[in-house]
Structure 1
């Protein structure tokens, strides 16, 4: 097959689309981790304890979790352009509501809208990557995507602490809301669902392969096919245990723990979460590209889970304090969890290509369900033996209270390792297309 197309124009279009979608995704990541930085302000503004703060932060994750499968359906049927445009506008409205909230209920509703809006961004982006980039590079492009997304999370740590010295937290959230609405407009104008919409051949055709067959059935049948696919579920539980607990720790509990147990200021505590988040970002990039290079998915996933469990146990049992050891522990915690990105490539490879959006969404549901369960559960475990100390309207917890929470972290990590034992090796090929007999070394 010979296809004549302007390769330079294709590259420009491909990276423009990627750029608009990645900006929306970075903003989603920022919102995910922001409550940790304003935890004290939120407790004060709305007069709430650890369990209530946990549920306010987790509001984003509840709706985000519930929306993953619908987001996959949206991405597979209407495409990334529509999903991300609407998502940005809704998230923008939510951030504005959150910034202006006078009551706990209004703040929760704003946080809910932010979660609802950004919930469709990631699956839309990953689906877009499946059609605009080569299958052979999918692990690498997924790693790059998570690396850039995490820069948004890093911005919600140290840089946000600096911003909060200059401006009110409310002003910051309203500004972010306006920016999201602008991104929605950009998505509609610049993003396209497939290369064919702009007159390009598909990426597979560019590589001299046949295009994937179009979907024939109703999406509901497709969804049932995805949910019935046993090879997808280990990835769901893997992300539930490992990345779910990591996001919950970095997004809410790590900063208060460093403050209450080790006497660090918010700014100093944020250095540890910034390092963990940066290490996680680098881990995603390394794991994705290493997996593509090795031509294997499972060893990376299993090794990452083993290391993550080891660090969780170290946080629980080692006598660590601020300084080199704590930096090392937080760094390795983030780095090891980066292996989770390979679970997306794995999900795509054990499912038929037309259903990649829903397959990625299913695995992603595990991750956010894990965070949604872990955030309030950690708060509940802390409240169990709390002596009721409150200073300036902010509840203060003891080392033993956080210790009960860290047992949870180790439990979640063990679940991820257990799930990794059930993953099927794909050798970076789509198992529904390439029967093992046809595989050439």
Structure 2
């Protein structure tokens, strides 16, 4: 993507080696998404296995995402210090151990601990992959590659939605989750053999000193570009995450009266819609970087509008409308990826890991808040458990999403204005932004374009 000033470039970028490294890391990300979403279709089975109610069921995913979000800043710091390969390997070890532990868990507490370990491993993968993209691909390639990363990664959700469901019913809990855990061992071999942290000489990445860490993180947080990226990720990502990871399947089955097969099919459809939308959004955000946050607002507005229509209907929605609902909701995933392109525009490369970590917290904080709120509301309205949920219960519970959409939209608009004022204060930066550049002079351009 660019040559770091004062260092020696050892490998070509944007070529076959770059794609091999990306593909290997991407396979780990697909596995991470699979582990993350593996409770999506197993929620009712998990409730029966552990003897828990809706709030406790939500706690599995909420804790997993809470660990994920809490680790983003430490992971960002470690990423800038140790590189992508070390963190991806560490993430694989944690996810494999956590999923294997979960396969044998029989108590609620043990299951929680296992999911927390899965969340810790998951937290190390995505930002490590983003850093590889930032270093190994050209500026014009990066937005589309980033979108493809997010969307292809969602194939893990497809595997979790259909094959995992079938495996659980055929082979049972322990063999299914233990088999899923074993995939991490195979992928670890590929990571060691293929992934290289940087095309530049060793030592190009900044080595973080403990005494400078607080100052560095403060500077990253104070940058309005960081807060704009955080707001975009917060607002756009949580709806598809909440729907795919936990509450979409019960909403479709218990609330809308669909069969389990149809509900699983709709969850799978979300992934394929996102696969189509991702490159399109990447293309337009790459061409029109000045309007990136406005594109994100358009995505959020569309999702909230369709949800309002579905929830206001007096009866279960027709299947064609539910298809529209899941399709529009799925676009929130690609929309949230705009946040990382914003982070790349407003931070120099040696801070990209920390900035991406902060930004990546947004959507997962919003997701865990929404999951918890929905679970609490359902328990209040239907204390008898999942068997007693009604459409009216889901109408009220799923409406909690509007609180976060409204808050997030205000934050996006607020920090868009602050970010534009910052760009306007730097000579040449606004012209570069309006001209289609995502690396801005005086802000992010501490590199020579390759």
- Give the TM bin, normalised by the shorter chain: 0.7 to 0.9
Q: Could you tell me which residue of structure 2 aligns to residue 257 of structure 1? A: 251
Of 146-155 and 162-171, deviating more is 162-171
Deviation (angstroms), 1:118: 1.4
Candidates 231, 237, 243, aligned match of 2:231: 237
C-alpha distance in 2 between matches for 1:4 and 1:220:
31
Query: Which of 97, 110, 113 pairs up with 1:106?
Result: 110
Matched with 1:77 is 81
Quick check: 1:143–1:288 contact (8 Å CA) kept in 2?
yes
Q: Deviation of residue 382 (structure 1)?
A: 1.2
User: 2:294 is matched with which residue?
Assistant: 299
Residue in 1 aligned with 2:439?
A: 430
- Aligned CA distance change for structure 1 residues 18 and 66 (closer, same or farther; 3 Å): same
Specify the SS of the correspondent of 2:267: helix
Partners of 1:275 and 1:36 in 2: how far apart? 14
* Partner residue, 2:97: 93
- Shift of the 165–133 alpha-carbon distance from structure 1 to 2, 3 Å rule, reads same
In structure 2, the residue corresponding to 1:195 is in which secondary structure?
Answer: coil
Name the residue aligned to 2:448: none
The Cα RMSD (Å) is: 2.6
Structure 2 CA distance for partners of 1:432 and 1:43, relative to 1, 3 Å: farther
- 2:192 alignment partner, SS class: helix
SS of 1:412's equivalent in the other structure is helix
Change (3 A) 1:63 1:432: farther
> Deviation of residue 287 (structure 1)?
0.9
User: SS in structure 1 opposite 2:402?
Assistant: helix
Question: How far apart are 1:432 and its partner, in Å?
Answer: 5.8
> How many angstroms apart in 1 are the aligned matches of 2:326 and 2:142?
28
| Equivalent residue, structure 1, for 2:340 | 344
Could you tell me which runs of 5 or more consecutive residues in structure 1 were left unpaired when the two chains were aligned. 203-211, 437-441
Of 388, 409, 432, the match for 1:417: 409
Alignment of 1:37-186 (within 5 A): 37-186=41-190
Q: 5 Å matches for 1:30-41?
A: 30-41=34-45
Structure 2 distance, partners of 1:244, 1:136, is: 28
TM-fit CA distance, 1:336: 4.5
Please state how far the C-alpha of 1:38 moved relative to its aligned partner.
0.6
How far apart, CA to CA, are the structure 1 residues paired with 2:289 and 2:230? 22
Partner of 2:326: 330
**Cα distance in 1 for residues equivalent to 2:137 and 2:119:** 27
Measured in 2, the distance between the counterparts of 1:253 and 1:435 equals: 40
8 Å Cα contact 1:83-1:121 kept in structure 2: yes
CA distance in 2, matches of 1:283, 1:214: 35
For 2:208 and 2:32, how far apart are their aligned partners in 1? Answer: 33
Unaligned runs of at least 5 residues, structure 2: 421-432, 446-450
Tell me, what secondary structure is at the counterpart of 1:355?
A: helix
Contact 1:86 / 1:184 at 8 angstroms: preserved in 2?
no
